[in-house]
Amino acid sequence: MLRVENLRSGYGKVDVLHGISLNVERSECVALVGANGAGKTTTLKCICGINPIRSGSITFEGEPIHGLPGHLIVRRGITMCPEGRQVFSEMTVLENLEMGAHSRVDDSQTKDLDEMFELFPVLRQRAKQSAGTLSGGEQEMLAIARALMARPKLCIFDEPSLGLAPKIVEEVEQTLARIKAMGTTILLVEQNAAMALRLSDRAYVFEAGEIVLHGTGQELQNHPEVSKAYLGY
């Protein structure tokens, strides 16, 4: 579904990605793990058209998407749940969800709203409440639901557990597992490597803008370098 080949990108004169290549197949959950500053989020921004690439290619369903603006990439079927949630704090929960469906031209948004309220009951209770008044965990659920309202073919999650209490992190993991079980294709960046590897079918380990390891989630959980550097045992 998604193929990234020899991707190079950066900021100003600084190179961040040094020729990375990866792929995501339909209905897979693929995780990118690594230390802060390793290039994971930059990769996501390139895929979503937020950050320009310097060389290489990004194809989605066989068609090149590098160089396209972000709104056209969303229309192709890629959405992102961003790091730090970034909900529209002055808008209500319902308005945030409606914004998630902004690029759609079909008439089934009401049905999808009901599905989101079934998946996240707390959002139904808070539907008329300003998003900025929600707790961090509730905002994360809203950000996830907003991304799903676009009916994405590929849903990208950037650090969904960041800054959340351990109990809420467990809820986020369970939510992602349910989304995966629904057949949604997922690309996941997550600092909690143990969680990411439990969820993922395959994973790539980033180090200083390069991919240094690749394997199934189970293989990397058992890899001595990964377990020592990221899993704490």
Q: Where in the chain is the domain with CATH 3.40.50.300?
A: 1-77+155-233
| % pLDDT > 90, the chain | 84
Supply the CATH classification number for the domain 1-77+155-233: 3.40.50.300
Strands 185-189 and 78-81 turn out to be unpaired
Q: Give the tens place of pLDDT for each residue, 112-166.
A: 999 999 999 999 999 999 999 999 999 999 999 999 999 999 999 999 999 899 9
Q: What whole-number distance in Å separates Cα of residue 2 and Cα of residue 202?
A: 14
Residue 102 is predicted with a pLDDT of 86
Q: Give the tens place of pLDDT for each residue, 168-223.
A: 999 999 999 999 999 999 999 998 999 999 999 999 999 999 999 999 999 999 88
Order of strands, sheet of 29-34, starting from the edge strand that comes earlier in the sequence: 78-81, 154-158, 185-189, 29-34, 202-207, 210-216
Q: How confident is the model at residue 225 (pLDDT cuts 50, 70, 90)?
A: confident
For every residue of 9-38, DSSP letters joined together read EEETTEEEEEEEEEEE-TT-EEEEEE-TTS
Q: What whole-number distance in Å separates Cα of residue 130 and Cα of residue 4?
A: 38
Q: What is the mean predicted confidence (pLDDT) over 2-28?
A: 96
Residue 233: is its pLDDT beyond 70?
no
Residue 110 is predicted with a pLDDT of 85
**Average pLDDT score, the chain:** 93
Residue 109 is predicted with a pLDDT of 82
CA 121, chain centre distance (Å): 22
Residue 232 is predicted with a pLDDT of 59
Taking Cα atoms as reference points, which of 210, 205, 200 lies closest to residue 228? 205
More confident residue, 1 or 109: 1
Q: How confident is the model at residue 12 (pLDDT cuts 50, 70, 90)?
A: very high
User: What tokens appear for 156 in the block?
Assistant: 């990208």
Q: How confident is the model at residue 105 (pLDDT cuts 50, 70, 90)?
A: confident
- Residue 44 has φ and ψ, to the nearest 5°, of -65, -40
CB hemisphere CA count around 130 (13 angstroms): 4
Q: What is the mean predicted confidence (pLDDT) over 11-38?
A: 95
